[in-house]
């Protein structure tokens, strides 16, 4: 097995903040990366996070990594990760930045990608959580095509509209830099494999569990399930661990454990339900108050432990002596992990301790893993070559735009406008919403008598005709038959045919479902002022016949619009 | 007067392209910036352009400038310019990148801004030309608040929705880096002054014209008209010139004139009506074929000219000997220009010639302008201080968000969704559009008789009632009175009150305006199938009374919607 080593940056800055601290943080990080490059680290990864005060002041990794490119010669520069939802980063801007970084670094970029998943970020940019996976898949397809298509043949999806353009500059690495995706659990590791890209696992995982993930990952990579997201396959699994190194174990713990624990605590703060008041919440203070209660007590960390445990709670990672860390790495190596990304800059960890650790790692740990590594990697590539080739054949190829296209600003902007313009369904939904709001005001707080007085025969006719018109056969699951509504003084029937419905007054001949309910309560349900489930339990709504259909009713009629 | 000198980059790459050329282009530029820093240039500016093949491969200046920050010590790093339309760059991403660049460069950033204006870019990102100025004004307000507000108190405009967040990191320079805006003509220079920010003039302008612009710029800066866009005023005017320097004038021309001419030709290509086929159009080839016809002939450039002319056509700029360039700079200096940005890398200009020019400039030109410059700048700042202070007092201050806000992803995303959702007006407009389309199909290609047969009394009642309902008093300019429509067999009157209109059949008692037109032609006008102006000229539409009102009719009734 072969294994690579990297540095991983969140640019953490616990409160209280003082002037010049962010400057120090960034300048120190550049110095650290320079050392890492010199002593033989293979990668430096930097996250892209927005608004995550204290946990990550790393909101523009494209800038930091570009600066790092001129302080280093050999180390690869990894985005870990770029957020792909187009509301955060336009796909063309991502392709442009990656290519430019590849040019200034002479081909040293790795493109890690992700969906963004903290509430601070999704809420901040207005990204729907239910859509972010789709957006990722859409954007990575567009971005990788921008790398290889010349010109990019254009894009028209739910999320991105773009006419044909030659996206410039192009990357140094061909067809494009290696791709990765952020993973946090088994399911996303499989997702990475299905997309034929590297898995950047950000959860602290024990070697034994990592081994299971790795096996599954490579099984999928070599299977038909792998349909590459890009135009090259990057079969690699990286895990992330905290690190602090010293020949004396107690010193290593003293220097590194608060950082490791703060990292995990602040992660849970931003990705869990803990409330956050921007600019005010003091995460470091909360950490100090609650670390013991949350399982991050300093006392549980005992020097001379036989093996290092990495899981959250006892989170220790690679905080220890060179020999302990060598042993830990061996365990990851033996289960087939391809890369370990070490977090040294976290919480209150000190710059000089980080530098010492890096030097010590280069001197006392790294040499144990470098011999024959290139050959083993070459052998791995050779072994996987047929699977990679087969996988790439499954990916939709680069397109060749027909020549003769002409840039046409007015037509192109109009196309984007059309895509942004409300669809017919949106217009209908807006109409329904407005209707329902007005209707709600009409029934809310009224007595049964007041409501029923307004709902005479002609209004009832209008309502049921509206329901019939709003009937959506696709939601009916093939149902045909009669629905009967027995109201206070009248009964209506909706006759459901294969593709349409019609309303008629009077009882049904053979109703599939009968609703017995006071007119006022029926209107309250339609207006959203009463919950049918509650009415059922209170005995104010009675159902007879095919009960199973009842929950489908709302969908079938797309709301009670008379439009 | 004091004057500063800068380098200006588009990263041009004329076709034909060969492998490794973009890499060379970027690596050479980094070398050049390193020299410029060493010999005493004050700024390096880099554009942000997208998809402008050959003319500018500089699509991610944030990356190039960050790389340059680690190759230099003193030179300022200027975005010239960042495109502010939110479809290109989200305001928070701009604030984050600028702050990060300020951190890695230890406070050396200048933030040049612009609206983006080539069809390739506006069409590529779907930015409406009519809105880009508004978007600029909206975005710069949001961005500068992100720099100074802690937390940023949120944003809700036509273009950007964002909940309160602490945008991180913060800039080194306080309150934020100096602001500039791209200008191309007198009107935009005034615009820069009204916004209290530096003017980056990208048109090649003679010193005498520049002088007029400068005078007007400073007059506005010191007047009540100046309401700063940011939280600091940056009173500076920069002009851009091509440059190539050599002790032998003919050599300088030989080395630099093709680059200068290609720059101007390609600029005209992308900003004019010339068609462009992405990935195919060969701008360099077109330049060679058409440079003479476009006034860019090499022959017109005569060595030993008494003064250098800079305008397009004879475009020469600072291509010449050190003494010629010193004389030219003196002319700009004497009219009060604060900075000259030199373009050396353009068209086919060679790296080694650029490096030679930079060294020569540092040796033979720069020393003539540095003595006492700091003192003169301090005096200028002192002279302008009261005006700057007064201007800043006119700017809406930074906000303090009330504490107790809680990040709430669902509610925040829903707010963005609501903002993205069609407004009531959009829904109405969509309804009108659909109506008009259907209506158009109904009248298009029909005879008068066919049309009038469909437009009986009840349809007429519906139409005029619809017009009355669609009446928009805000478009009527306070008009009240009667509008009379004499159609083929019937006459209708719209009675316009202060806030609403109503329709009634029959002639008006005292019409302000009477339209006499066949029913069929009236319907053709409403359907967009006939032009009222044409009908007027053909005598098929007659107007009596207050003619002036006629052009306002369409607006007043927001189209002929019966909704």
Q: What does the pLDDT read at residue A563?
A: 24
pLDDT band at residue B216 using 50, 70 and 90 as cut-offs: very high
Query: Strand, coil or helix: what is A379?
Result: helix
Tell me, yes or no, whether B36 lies in a domain.
Answer: yes
A1 touches B: beta carbon within 8 Å: no
Q: CA geometry: angle at B140 spanning B135 and B143, to 5°? A: 120
What DSSP designation does B440 have? H
Each residue's pLDDT tens digit, B230-240: 999 999 999 99
Degrees to nearest 5, angle at CA A84 with A78 and A89: 95
Residue A213 to chain B, least CA–CA distance (Å)? 31
- In this complex, the residue of B126, B279, B404 whose CB is nearest that of residue A150 is B279
Task: Tell whether B389 and B510 lie within a shared domain.
Answer: no
B128 close contact with A: CB closer than 8 A: yes
pLDDT, one tens digit per residue, over A523-563 is 888 777 777 777 887 788 888 888 767 766 766 765 432 22
The ipTM estimated for the assembled molecules is: 0.78
Residue A13 contacts residue A336 (beta carbons within 8 Å) = no
* Distance in angstroms (rounded) separating the CA atoms of residues A56 and A13: 7
B534 domain-assigned: yes
Examine residue A201 and state whether it is found in any structural domain, yes or no. yes
Q: What are phi and psi for residue A322, nearest 5 degrees?
A: -50, -40
Touching A: B residues 408-437, CB under 8 Å: 408-413, 415-417, 420-422, 426-427, 430-431
| pLDDT given for residue A459 in this prediction | 77
How far is Cα A433 from Cα A427, in angstroms, rounded to an integer? 10
Q: Under an 8 A CB cutoff, do B124 and A162 touch?
A: yes
What average pLDDT does range A200-216 have in this prediction? 89
Nearest CA to CA, how far is B36 from chain A (Å)? 17
Q: Chain B residues with CB inside 8 Å of A101's CB?
A: 60, 63
Q: Per the CB < 8 Å rule, is B123 touching A151?
A: no
pLDDT for residue B444 is more than 50: yes
Rg for chain B (alpha carbons), in Å? 30
Residue A28 contacts B where some CB pair is shorter than 8 Å:
no
Out of A107, A279, A403, the one facing B277 most closely (by C-beta) is A403
Same domain, A326 and A469: no
What local confidence, expressed as pLDDT, does residue B31 receive?
98
Chain A contact for B525 (CB, 8 A cutoff): no
| HEC readout, B443-481 | HCCCCHHHHHHHCCHHHHHHHHHHHHHCCCHHHCCCCCE
Cβ-proximal residues to A329 (8 Å cutoff; 6+ apart), any chain = A3, A318, A340, A365, A368, A369
- For A563, the token pair is 């439009």
B10-24 average pLDDT score:
97
| B513 or B11, higher pLDDT | B11
B378 lies in the same domain as B501: no
Q: Does residue A415 belong to any structural domain of this protein?
A: no
Give pLDDT, residue A313.
46
Tell whether the model's pLDDT for residue A329 goes beyond 70. Answer: yes
Indicate whether B449 and B339 sit together in one domain. no
Selected residues 103-122 of chain A with any CB under 8 Å from a CB in chain B: 103-107, 119-120, 122
Q: Using the beta-carbon criterion (under 8 Å), do A63 and B104 form an inter-chain contact?
A: yes
* DSSP codes, B488-537: SS-EEEEEE-SS-EEEEES--SSEEEEEEE-HHHHHHHHHTSS-HHHHHH
B89 contacts in chain A (CB < 8 Å): 90, 93
CB within 8 Å: A165 and B87: no
Q: Would you call B244 helix, strand, or coil by DSSP?
A: strand
Per-residue model confidence as pLDDT tens digits over B510-557? 898 899 999 998 888 877 777 777 788 778 888 888 876 776 676 676
Other C-beta atoms lying within 10 Å of the C-beta of residue A248:
12
The residue from A339, A373, A394 where one domain ends is A394
A-chain CB neighbours of B406 within 8 Å are: 275-277
* Arithmetic mean of pLDDT, B337-353: 97
- Least confident segment among A86-100, A497-511, B417-431: B417-431
- pLDDT at residue A422 above 60? no
Among A379, A394, A409, give the residue marking a domain's end.
Answer: A394
Which one has a higher pLDDT value, A72 or B546? A72
Q: Quote the minimal CA–CA distance from B298 to chain A in Å.
A: 30
**Is residue A221 one of the residues assigned to a domain?**
yes
Cβ distance of A278 and B407 shorter than 8 Å: yes
Using an 8 Å CB-CB cutoff, list chain B residues near A164: 278-279
Which of A21, A51, A105 best tests the B interface by mutation, with the highest count of B CBs <10 A?
A51
Whether B26 sits inside 8 A of A169 (CB atoms) is yes
Which structure tokens are listed for A549? 């259909």
% of chain B beyond a pLDDT of 70: 91
Give me the residue from A66, A407, A411 closest to B120, CB to CB: A407
The answer as to whether A407 is a domain residue is: no
Pure H helices in A195-321: 207-221, 249-271, 283-290
CA-only gyration radius of chain A, Å: 30
Greater confidence (B250 vs B430) lies with: B250
DSSP state for residue B199 in the 8-state scheme = E
Residue of B41, B167, B175, B183 lying closest to B112 (CA atoms): B183
Average pLDDT over every residue of B24-35: 98
Note whether A127 and A116 are within 8 A (CB).
yes
pLDDT digits (tens, 9 = 90+) for B67-85: 999 999 999 999 999 999 9
**Would you say residue B558 has pLDDT above 50?**
yes
A257 C-beta neighbours (distance < 10 Å), count = 23
Domain shared by B287 and B138, yes or no: yes
Give the three-class secondary structure for B484: strand
Q: What is the dihedral of CA A420, A423, A428, A430, to 10 degrees?
A: -10
Asked if B485 contacts B459 with a C-beta cutoff of 8 angstroms, the reply is no
Region B172-195: what's the mean pLDDT? 94
More confident residue, B552 or A171: A171
B165 pLDDT exceeds 90? Answer: yes
Inside any domain, residue B402: no
What pLDDT score does B433 carry?
61
Q: What is the CATH number of the domain that holds B19?
A: 3.20.20.30
Q: What's the token pair of residue B461?
A: 């009642």
Nearest alpha-carbon partner for B253 in B187, B349, B166: B349
**Does the CB of A90 have a partner CB in chain B at under 8 Å?**
yes
Q: How many domains does chain B have?
A: 2
State yes or no: pLDDT of B50 exceeds 60: yes
φ, ψ at A187 (rounded to 5°)? -65, -40
Rounded mean pLDDT of A439-453? Answer: 82
The yes-or-no verdict on residue B26 having pLDDT over 60 is yes
Averaged pLDDT for residues B264-272: 91
Measure in Å the smallest separation between the Cα of A554 and chain B Cα atoms.
22
Contact A23 B106 (CB under 8 A): yes
Tell me the nearest-neighbour CA distance from B132 into chain A, angstroms.
12
Question: Closest residue of B to A67, CA-based?
Answer: B67
| Torsion-angle region of A141 (φ positive above 0: left; ψ -120 to 50: alpha; else: beta) | alpha
Partner residue opposite B416 with nearest CB, options A22, A120, A126:
A126
Our CA-based measurement puts residue B478 at a distance from the nearest CA of chain A, in whole angstroms, of: 31
Q: Do B194 and B233 belong together in one domain? A: yes
Among A293-297, A457-461, B485-489, top mean pLDDT goes to: B485-489
B228 and B278 housed in the same domain: yes
Q: Which residue of A has its CA nearest to B87?
A: A90
pLDDT at A327 over 60: yes
pLDDT at A314: 57
Q: Does B398 touch chain A (CB under 8 A)?
A: no
Q: Do B96 and A151 touch (CB under 8 A)?
A: no
Residue-level pLDDT at A435: 63
Same domain, B461 and B329: no
B471 touches chain A (CB under 8 A): no
Same domain? For B181 and B316 the reply is: yes
Selected residue with higher pLDDT from A74 and A117:
A74
pLDDT for position A423: 52
Say yes or no: A293 contacts chain B, CB-CB below 8 A.
no
Select, from the ranges A362-376, A492-506, B534-548, the one with the highest average predicted confidence (pLDDT). Answer: A362-376
B122/A404 CB distance under 8 A? no
Distance from CA of B535 to the nearest CA of A (A): 29
B50 and A422 within 8 Å at the Cβ level: the answer is no
DSSP for B79-144, written as a single string: EEEEE--TTTS-HHHHHHHHHHHHHHTTS-EEEEEE----HHHHHHHT--GGGHHHHHHHHHHHHH
Please give the average per-residue pLDDT across A346-371, as a whole number: 97
CB contact under 8 A, B96 and A50: yes
Q: Residue A428 is part of a domain; what is its CATH number?
A: 3.30.1050.10
Band the pLDDT of B560: cuts 50, 70, 90: very low
DSSP A223: S
Nearest to A52 by CA among A350, A274, A385: A274
CB of A63 less than 8 A from some CB of B: yes
Q: Give the range of the structural domain holding residue A444, as residue numbers without chain letter.
A: 424-556
Measured between beta carbons, which residues in chain A are less than 8 angstroms from residue B88? 90, 93
Average pLDDT of chain A to the nearest whole number: 89
CB-based contact, A145 to chain B, within 8 Å = no
Question: Is B70 an 8 Å CB contact of chain A?
Answer: yes
Residue among A60, A100, A411 minimizing CB distance to B59: A100
Axis crossing angle, helix A91-104 with helix A61-69, rounded to the nearest 10:
10
Whether A272 contacts chain B with CB within 8 A: no
**Residues in chain A closer than 8 A to B150 (CB atoms):** 279
Residue of A nearest to B102 (CA): A23
> B136 with B279, same domain?
yes
Cα–Cα dist A515/B206, whole Å: 84
Distance separating alpha carbons of residues A367 and A337, to the nearest angstrom:
18
Same-domain pairing of B373 and B448: no
A148 and A78 inside one domain? yes
Beta-strand relationship, B501-505 and B491-496: antiparallel
pLDDT of residue B426: 56
**Spatial CA neighbour of A346 closest among A289, A272, A296:** A296
Does the pLDDT at position B311 exceed 60?
Answer: no
Chain A CB within 8 Å of residue B473 CB: no
The whole-number pLDDT of residue B563 equals 24
Domain endpoint, select from A394, A410, A432:
A394
Please check whether residue B563 lies inside any domain of the structure: no
* pLDDT level of residue B266 (50, 70, 90 thresholds): very high
């Amino acid at each position: 097995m072969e294994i690579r080593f990297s540095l991983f940056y969140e640019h953490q800055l616990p409160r209280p903040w003082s002037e010049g601290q962010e400057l120090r943080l960034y300048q120190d990080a550049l110095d650290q990366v320079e050392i890492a490059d010199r002593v033989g680290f293979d990668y430096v990864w930097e996250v892209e996070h927005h608004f995550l005060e204290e946990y990550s002041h790393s909101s523009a990794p494209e800038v930091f990594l570009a600066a790092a490119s001129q302080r280093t010669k050999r180390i690869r520069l990894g985005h870990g990760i770029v957020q792909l939802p187009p509301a955060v980063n336009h796909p063309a801007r991502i392709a442009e930045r990656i290519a430019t970084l590849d040019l200034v670094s002479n081909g040293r970029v790795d493109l890690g990608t992700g969906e963004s998943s903290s509430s601070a970020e999704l809420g901040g940019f207005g990204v729907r959580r239910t859509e972010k996976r789709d957006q990722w898949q859409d954007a990575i397809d567009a971005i990788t095509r921008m790398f290889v298509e010349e010109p990019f043949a254009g894009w028209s999806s739910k999320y991105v509209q773009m006419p044909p353009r030659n996206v410039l500059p192009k990357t140094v690495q061909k067809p494009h830099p290696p791709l990765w995706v952020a993973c946090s659990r088994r399911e996303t590791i499989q997702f990475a494999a299905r997309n034929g890209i590297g898995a950047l696992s950000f959860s602290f995982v024990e070697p034994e569990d990592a081994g299971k993930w790795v096996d599954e990952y490579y099984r999928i990579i070599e299977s038909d399930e792998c349909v590459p997201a890009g135009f090259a396959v990057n079969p690699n699994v990286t895990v992330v661990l905290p690190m602090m190194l010293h020949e004396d174990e107690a010193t290593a713990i003293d220097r590194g454990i608060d950082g490791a624990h703060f990292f995990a605590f602040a992660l849970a703060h931003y990705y869990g339900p803990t409330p956050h008041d921007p600019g005010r919440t003091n995460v470091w203070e909360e950490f100090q108050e609650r670390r013991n209660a949350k399982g991050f007590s300093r006392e549980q960390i005992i020097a001379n432990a036989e093996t290092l445990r990495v899981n959250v709670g006892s989170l220790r990672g690679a905080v220890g002596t060179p020999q302990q860390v060598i042993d830990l790495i061996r365990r990851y190596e033996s289960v087939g992990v391809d890369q370990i990304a070490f977090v040294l800059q976290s919480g209150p960890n000190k710059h000089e301790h980080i530098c010492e650790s890096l030097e010590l790692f280069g001197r006392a740990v790294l040499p144990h893993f470098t011999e024959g590594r290139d050959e083993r990697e070459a052998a791995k590539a050779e072994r996987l070559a047929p699977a990679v080739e087969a996988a790439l054949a499954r990916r939709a190829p680069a397109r060749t735009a027909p020549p003769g296209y002409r840039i046409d600003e007015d037509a192109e902007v109009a196309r984007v406008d059309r895509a942004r313009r409300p669809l017919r369904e949106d217009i209908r939904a807006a109409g329904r919403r407005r209707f329902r709001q007005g209707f709600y005001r009409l029934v809310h707080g009224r007595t049964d008598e007041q409501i029923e007085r307004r709902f005479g025969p002609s209004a009832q006719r209008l309502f049921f005709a509206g329901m019939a018109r709003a009937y959506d056969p696709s939601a009916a699951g093939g149902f045909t038959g009669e629905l009967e509504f027995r109201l206070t003084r009248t009964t209506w029937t909706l006759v459901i045919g294969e593709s349409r419905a019609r309303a008629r007054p009077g009882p049904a001949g053979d109703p599939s479902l009968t609703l017995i309910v006071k007119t006022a309560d029926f209107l309250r349900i339609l207006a959203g002022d009463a919950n049918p489930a509650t009415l059922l339990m209170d005995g104010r709504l009675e159902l007879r016949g095919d009960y199973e259909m009842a929950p489908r009713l709302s969908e079938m009629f797309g709301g009670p619009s008379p439009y």
